[in-house]
Structure 1
Amino acid sequence: MHRRRRTALLLTAAIAAAAPLLTACGNDAHPGAAAVVGGQRITVAQLESRVDEVREAQRATVPDEAQYEQVVARTGSLARDTLHGMVLDRVLHRAAQDAGVSVTRKEVQQMRTGLEQQAGGAEELQTVWLQQYGVAPERLDENLRLQLEAQKLAEHLGTDTGRPAFWKALSEASEQLDVDLNPRYGAWDVQKSSRVDARTPWVREMTAAGTQQTA
């Protein structure tokens, strides 16, 4: 359980990790897209649907309105974090394909069964993944596949998921897929294979202008 949960933490750690802010380079070439990965669009509607899944699950587990509002406040970056996960899923899948690594449905089910036993049941496992990783119950199998792909890719590379060799493979996949995020959600750092907040040029320009006027 420790190794598996450490992997899950690793794949979400990049969301919260401190990273330098990048200048937004997106444009209107892909209207309606939250991101474009390998020429395939992740639409804003798809992203919002994923966020709604998490919010609905959170609401179901926290019936008290005041507590629910606290949960929402603590997960204010849910849309950006969810998009990060959706993009990383595709990047990791590409890296795994390039390495000839695959995950079967049976392997996912075996992992889920083991985790359910250790968590104390299916509902308990769903609650852990929802609270700790922002994964809605209906997306649990997808997330476990992601964890298994990461583990098997690291093993194939003769390393583990915390080592540079693993992230180098993801960086190469990010570059091949030419990840492009809508500036509304930040930018994609190819080297870190992670979403980062993006400073919008006009914000800096307006701030500088205001400073000059008040000087």
Structure 2
Amino acid sequence: MKLTRLIPMAAVVAATVAAGCSPMPSTAAQVGDARISEAQLTRVAEGCESVGLGPDQVQRTQLLMSEILGLIADDLAADNGQTVTDEEAQAVLRETNGTSPALGNPDCARVAASGAKLQILVTKLGEDADIAALQQQFEAVDVQLNPRYGSWDPAGAGITGTGSLSVPS
């Protein structure tokens, strides 16, 4: 086989192998039955950037973490006979952050407010809230994270690691 044919073939094989590194290349995360696509995450990042949030405020891993927490809160609310709406979460964001630029874009506002959903759920459950049981339910939610973002640690920090294949020396 000529070298000129071998080089393009090697490039195709390398691209196929690289794409195969992630079992879910177009999925950023799977939370229970809900899928967060890379396209959805890109739309949120672009929405946040469109309202003037800088790159240090629009990190994909942080946006993904908020998306995951919001979906987990929705699951926990349903399991406990409650609902927590995006509007309620955005109202909490308004109360705590005033006129946050994130509220200027619907996708960005939804994700920015997602972190408040767990707090709202605990408030709705009131004094009867069994925090230990909620923690167990939280940890039991099946979260599959695309390896490029790191790994999921429900008992600790949520998304951990960099997702990088490089190992510091």
Cα deviations across residues 76-111 of structure 1 (Å, max 9, x unaligned)? x61110000111100111111111122468x73994
**8 Å Cα contact 1:34-1:44 kept in structure 2:** yes
Residue 165 of structure 1 is matched in structure 2 by 131
- Equivalent runs, 1:62-81 vs 2, <5 Å: 71-72=54-55, 74-75=56-57, 78-81=59-62
Matching residue's letter, 2:28 = A
**8 Å Cα contact 2:89-2:117 kept in structure 1:** no
Q: CA deviation at 1:41?
A: 2.0
Q: Secondary structure at the match of 1:158?
A: helix
Distance 2:68 2:124 in 1: 22
Q: Are positions 1:138 and 2:106 aligned together?
A: yes
Aligned length: 147
**8 Å Cα contact 1:57-1:137 kept in structure 2:** yes
For normalisation by structure 2, the TM-score amounts to 0.65
**8 Å Cα contact 1:34-1:181 kept in structure 2:** yes
Q: 1:84 aligns with which of 62, 65, 71?
A: 65
Q: Are positions 1:190 and 2:154 aligned together?
A: yes
Bigger relative contact order (CA 8 A; separation at least 6): 1
For normalisation by structure 1, the TM-score amounts to 0.53
Distance 1:151 1:54 in 2: 23
- Equivalent runs, 1:1-215 vs 2, <5 Å: 28-58=22-52, 71-72=54-55, 74-75=56-57, 78-103=59-84, 108=88, 111=91, 115=95, 119=98, 125-127=99-101, 130=102, 137-139=105-107, 140=109, 144=113, 147=116, 150-156=119-125, 158=127, 165=131, 169-176=134-141, 178-192=142-156, 194-198=158-162, 203-204=166-167
Distance 2:34 2:85 in 1: 24
| Cα RMSD after superposing both structures | 3.8
Cα deviations across residues 104-124 of structure 1 (Å, max 9, x unaligned)? 68x739947x849x94xxxxx
